[in-house]
Amino acid sequence: MSEPAMTLEPESSAPAQDTVTLTDNATGKSFTFPVLSGTAGPKVIDTRKLYAETGMFTYDPGYTSTGSCESKITYIDGEKGVLLHRGYAIEDLAEQSDYLEVAYLLLNGELPNRTEKLEFEQVITHHTMVHEQISWFYRGFRRDAHPMAVLCGVTGALSAFYGDSLDINDPQQRMIASHRLIAKVPTIAAMAYKYSVGQPFIYPRNDLRYAENLLSMMFSVPAEPYRVNRVLARAMDRILILHADHEQNASTSTVRLSGSSGANPFACIAAGIASLWGPAHGGANEAVLNMLAQIGRKERIGEFIKRAKDKNDPFRLMGFGHRVYKNFDPRAQVMRRTCHEVLSELGIKDEPLLDIAMELERIALEDEYFVDRKLYPNVDFYSGIILRAMNFPTSMFTVLFAIARTVGWISQWKEMIEDSDTRIGRPRQLYTGATHRPYVPLSMRG
């Protein structure tokens, strides 16, 4: 192997500030960069002056080694399977808190006291209705449109209705836009579902809690009263908590990048929804169910495990693996328990897809390929089964993820706008295309 052109070493004599020195082996020149420490997690090399000083960029496709921002919202230790929101463990929040309290925490930085909690619930509840003209949009969509397409379109359209909360430089308008998004995205999502099945839209109910109201807008019909099942509402609330934020993932980074140009919050959240839709991200819970259906029976699991391991086959075990967690995803543990609670409440004993899922989980956790690569079941592996048991159509799974994540996105967006270090996001590249060449007129191209 040839000698690397650059070497990167920590400074040996401990300076007042941590630094690393980069040596360009081609010229012998050395450059020193500060090393920053957060309150937890790996240190970061501050490369903001790298280009100015060395004339070089970093190359990091997929940003696996790049910190794109400073944040105080969510901390993940993927090796240990830790997830904290504002310092609180996800397991504690899922067991002891509720979604709107977690939303308040993410948005404001602290858990609310009793009065703050009541006020927040009141504000969100009273923003749940959408402008009546928004309901007219739905008729323009095909009934068989994917609800993520509808959610993305209608959420983006909110900026055409709420002009009084588009000024991103006004803290009060930023907060109103945040409240509107947390409150209205479930309404928009439920309307997308009702439209797809040809049932009338159900208005939000202010006497219900957030998750209860979501179930009511989804599953009630005007012809009869709707009684909320407490176990299912609690499970829904937990699913929302577990998906509320997850640091700088693809959709959150999309929201931040869109917002860095000064775009309005409704447009930025629509961009986040678009990114979430992909099967490697939020689309995975839908893909898990499709995969389980494709497997069909337990006897065929071996065949699919074999395919997942075959590098020439694009098939991957959906719901397994994670970019950050190289240990059990702590959300998956809570989701697994919730999954059993829901199935027992609904009296579901022989659910073939669940049987396949459990067997798949068992085999994969013992298989050398998955063990060596630290591929554990992720949050989406179980959430799909719960949602199916609760009667959500598969196409709504990612939509529910988007509802839950809206608060994470908007909290991260707000933090970015309020950070004085924020500049428009503008990555650079390693160009490998043609260099300058003369234009050849069409008549001379043969």
* 322 contributes a contact to ligand CMC by CB under 6 A: yes
- Which residues sit opposite 236 in a β-bridge? none
At 383, list the tokens: 């959430």
Which letter does DSSP use for residue 144 in this model? Answer: T
**Shortest separation between residue 372's beta carbon and ligand CMC, angstroms:** 9
* 408 contributes a contact to ligand CMC by CB under 6 A: no
What does the alpha-carbon distance between residue 125 and residue 119 come to, in Å, rounded to a whole number? Answer: 10
Interface with ligand CMC by CB under 6 A: which range of 100-108, 216-224, 321-329, 333-341?
321-329
Q: Which residues contact 162 (CB under 8 A, 6 or more apart)?
A: 177, 180, 266
User: Residue with the closest Cβ to ligand CMC?
Assistant: 321
Tell me if residue 98 is catalytic: no
Nearer to ligand CMC, 21 or 394 (CB): 394
Nearer to ligand CMC, 280 or 371 (CB): 280
- Which amino acid is located at 168 in the chain? I
Burial of 231 (0-12, 13-18, 19+ CB in 10 A): middle
* 316 contributes a contact to ligand CMC by CB under 6 A: yes
Helices 397-417 & 265-276, crossing angle to 10 degrees?
140
**Shortest separation between residue 288's beta carbon and ligand CMC, angstroms:** 7
Q: Residue-wise over 20-29: b if at least 16 C-beta within 10 A, else e?
A: bebbeeeeee
Kindly tell me which residue out of 321, 330, 384, 408 binds ligand CMC, with binding defined by CB under 6 A: 321
Residue 340 to residues 33, 292, 383: CA-CA distances in angstroms? 51, 18, 11
Closest CA to 54 of 12, 4, 5: 5
Report the run of H or E that residue 123 belongs to, with start and end: helix 114-125
What does the alpha-carbon distance between residue 206 and residue 225 come to, in Å, rounded to a whole number? Answer: 15
Residue labelled with tokens 């579902």: 193
Residue 362 to residues 5, 298, 305, 309, 315: CA-CA distances in angstroms? 46, 12, 12, 16, 19
Q: Are 320 and 432 in contact (CB under 8 A)?
A: no
**End-to-end CA distance of the chain, in Å?**
44
**Shortest separation between residue 10's beta carbon and ligand CMC, angstroms:** 27
* 103 contributes a contact to ligand CMC by CB under 6 A: no
* 256 contributes a contact to ligand CMC by CB under 6 A: no
At 350, list the tokens: 């022989």
**Shortest separation between residue 289's beta carbon and ligand CMC, angstroms:** 12
What does the alpha-carbon distance between residue 379 and residue 245 come to, in Å, rounded to a whole number? Answer: 13
Q: Which residues contact 194 (CB under 8 A, 6 or more apart)?
A: 200, 201, 202, 217, 218
Secondary structure (3-state) at 21: strand
Pattern 357-396, ligand CMC, x by CB under 6 A: ----------------x-x--xxx----------------
Kindly tell me which residue out of 318, 334, 396, 402 binds ligand CMC, with binding defined by CB under 6 A: 318
**Shortest separation between residue 251's beta carbon and ligand CMC, angstroms:** 8
At 210, list the tokens: 């957030």
Kindly tell me which residue out of 282, 330, 384, 408 binds ligand CMC, with binding defined by CB under 6 A: 282
Interface with ligand CMC by CB under 6 A: which range of 163-171, 275-283, 344-352, 427-435?
275-283
Kindly tell me which residue out of 246, 256, 336, 414 binds ligand CMC, with binding defined by CB under 6 A: 246
* 280 contributes a contact to ligand CMC by CB under 6 A: yes
Check 380, 419, 421, 436 and give the catalytic one.
Answer: 380
Kindly tell me which residue out of 153, 204, 319, 408 binds ligand CMC, with binding defined by CB under 6 A: 319
Tell me if residue 350 is catalytic: no
Check 127, 179, 246, 322 and give the catalytic one.
Answer: 322
Kindly tell me which residue out of 317, 353, 396, 417 binds ligand CMC, with binding defined by CB under 6 A: 317
* 8 contributes a contact to ligand CMC by CB under 6 A: no
Nearer to ligand CMC, 345 or 367 (CB): 367
Nearer to ligand CMC, 318 or 335 (CB): 318
* 320 contributes a contact to ligand CMC by CB under 6 A: yes
Nearer to ligand CMC, 162 or 381 (CB): 381
Nearer to ligand CMC, 191 or 360 (CB): 360
Q: Are 74 and 83 in contact (CB under 8 A)?
A: yes
* 402 contributes a contact to ligand CMC by CB under 6 A: no
**Shortest separation between residue 53's beta carbon and ligand CMC, angstroms:** 31
**Shortest separation between residue 277's beta carbon and ligand CMC, angstroms:** 11
At 147, give phi and psi (nearest 5°).
-60, -20
* 284 contributes a contact to ligand CMC by CB under 6 A: yes
What does the alpha-carbon distance between residue 419 and residue 400 come to, in Å, rounded to a whole number? Answer: 29
What residues make contact with ligand CMC under the rule CB under 6 A? 246, 249, 280-282, 284, 308, 316-323, 373, 375, 378-380
Residues with catalytic function? 322, 380
